[in-house]
Amino acid sequence: MHKPEGWTSFDLVKKIRSITKEKKVGHGGTLDPFAEGVLIIGTGRDTKNLSKVTDKKKPYQAVIQLGLQTDTLDTEGMVINKMPVPVLNHKQLENTLSSFQGIYKHKPPMFSAKKINGTRLYKLARKNIKIEREEIISKIYNIELNTFTDKLIDFTVTCSKGTYIRVLGSDIAKKIGTIGYLIKLVRTGIGDYKISDSLSIHKFESQWKSIEN
Residues classed as catalytic: 32
What DSSP string runs through 132-180?
--PPEEEEEEEEEEEEE-SSEEEEEEEE-TT--HHHHHHHHHHHHTS-E
Nearest Cα to Cα of residue 169 among 179, 159, 161, 160: 179
Contact 47, 200 (CB under 8 A): no
Taking the C-alpha atoms of residue 36 and residue 32, their distance in angstroms, rounded to an integer, is: 8
Taking the C-alpha atoms of residue 197 and residue 43, their distance in angstroms, rounded to an integer, is: 19
Q: Supply angle C-alpha 29, 80, 58, rounded to 5.
A: 20
Q: How many helices (DSSP H) and strands (DSSP E) are in the chain?
A: 6, 15
Handedness of CA 82, 84, 89, 92 (dihedral sign): negative
Nearest Cα to Cα of residue 110 among 151, 164, 67: 164
Mapping DSSP to helix (H, G, I), strand (E, B) and coil, where does residue 68 land? strand
Mapping DSSP to helix (H, G, I), strand (E, B) and coil, where does residue 18 land? helix
